[in-house]
C-alpha cells in the first residue's frame, strides 16, 4: 500500500448502517483537517523524491547528458556542479513535465488547427450542489474536498457538452486543450481552448453566436436566468 492509498483510506467517508454517513473525525477538523492534508501531501512528495534520488539508474538519468552539457558550456571542470538528481517527466510540476505538456498542446494545434474559442469557467462555492453536500454547520471553505469534487464534475459536464454538440447552435469540437488553475484563496478555475469542427476562421458576425454579455430572459432561458 502506498502513502497516497493510505491517506485516501483515512480521509474517505463511509456509509454506516441504516444509510447514514459515518462520522470521520479527520474531516470534521476544518482548518486542522486542511493542515493534516497538506502534511500528508508533503510526506507523499518527499517519499517520491527520495525514491527518484535512490533510483537514478533505474530511470536512466545518465541518458540526459545534462552534466556533460554544463561542463561544455560553463567550463572544463565539473566540480562546481555537484551531484544532480534528474526528475523524470511523469513527476508533476518539474521542467520536463511542463515541456511535455507544451509539446502535446502544440501537437494538437498542428494536427487539428488553431483554437477558435477560449472558455473560462470559475468555481462557485455557493453552488446548490455544493451547499447540499456540505454537512450541517459547515461552510464551503471548511470542506475543499467537496468543492473540488463538484467542480471537477462540472468540468467533465462542460467537456461532454462540447464534444457531444449539446450546446444549441455550436459546431462540434475536434480538439481541446484545458488547464485547471487555483486562485490565491484556493478556488479553482478551468481554461479551455476549443478547436471547432470547421475549416474557416471565425468572423465578427459570429461572435454573438458563442458569447453574450446580457441577462438571460426569464421566460425563454429559465435555467440560465437562475444561474
Within a domain: residue 227?
yes
225 three-class SS: helix
Within a domain: residue 35?
no
Among 187, 186, 164, which residue's Cα sits nearest to residue 174?
164
Within a domain: residue 93?
yes
CB atoms within 10 A of CB 150: 21
The yes-or-no verdict on residue 204 having pLDDT over 90 is no
Within a domain: residue 223?
yes
Give whole-number Cα distances, 33 to 27, 38, 177, in Å: 6, 9, 33
Its domain, for residue 187, covers 89-227
The yes-or-no verdict on residue 224 having pLDDT over 80 is no
Within a domain: residue 62?
no
Within a domain: residue 75?
no
Q: Give the pLDDT confidence of 143-163 residue by residue, as tens digits.
A: 988 999 999 999 999 999 988
Rounded-to-integer distance, Cα 205 and Cα 208, Å:
7
Within a domain: residue 15?
no
- How many domains is the chain built from? 1
Q: How confident is the model at residue 167 (pLDDT cuts 50, 70, 90)?
A: confident
pTM equals 0.76
Within a domain: residue 95?
yes
pLDDT at 72: 63
Residue percentage of the chain with pLDDT more than 90: 35
Residue by residue, DSSP assigns 57-120 as TTTTGGGG-HHHHHHHHH-S--GGG----PPPTTSTTSHHHHHHHHHHHHHHHHHH----EEEE
Residues in CB range of 89: below 8 A, 6 or more apart: 96, 97, 99, 100
Amino acid at each position: 500500500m502506498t502513502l497516497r492509498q493510505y491517506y485516501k483510506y483515512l480521509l474517505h467517508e463511509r456509509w454506516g448502517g441504516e444509510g447514514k454517513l459515518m462520522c470521520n473525525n479527520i474531516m470534521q477538523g476544518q482548518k486542522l483537517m486542511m493542515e493534516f492534508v497538506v502534511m500528508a501531501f508533503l510526506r507523499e512528495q518527499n517519499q517520491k523524491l527520495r525514491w527518484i534520488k535512490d533510483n537514478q539508474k533505474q530511470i536512466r538519468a545518465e541518458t540526459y547528458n545534462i552534466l556533460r552539457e554544463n561542463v561544455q558550456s560553463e567550463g572544463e571542470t565539473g566540480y562546481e556542479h555537484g551531484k544532480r538528481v534528474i526528475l523524470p517527466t511523469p513527476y508533476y510540476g518539474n521542467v520536463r513535465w511542463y515541456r511535455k505538456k507544451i509539446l502535446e498542446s502544440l501537437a494538437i494545434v498542428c494536427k487539428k488547427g488553431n483554437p477558435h474559442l477560449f472558455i473560462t469557467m470559475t468555481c462557485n462555492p455557493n453552488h446548490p450542489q455544493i451547499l447540499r453536500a456540505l454537512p450541517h454547520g459547515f461552510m464551503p471553505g471548511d470542506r475543499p474536498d467537496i468543492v473540488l469534487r463538484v467542480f471537477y464534475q462540472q468540468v467533465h459536464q462542460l467537456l461532454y457538452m462540447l464534444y457531444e454538440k449539446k450546446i444549441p447552435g455550436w459546431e462540434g469540437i475536434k480538439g481541446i486543450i484545458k488547464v485547471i488553475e487555483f486562485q490565491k484563496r484556493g478556488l479553482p478555475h478551468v481554461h479551455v481552448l476549443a478547436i471547432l469542427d470547421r475549416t474557416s476562421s471565425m468572423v465578427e458576425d459570429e461572435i454573438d453566436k458563442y458569447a453574450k454579455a446580457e441577462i438571460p430572459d426569464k421566460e425563454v432561458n429559465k435555467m440560465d436566468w437562475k444561474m
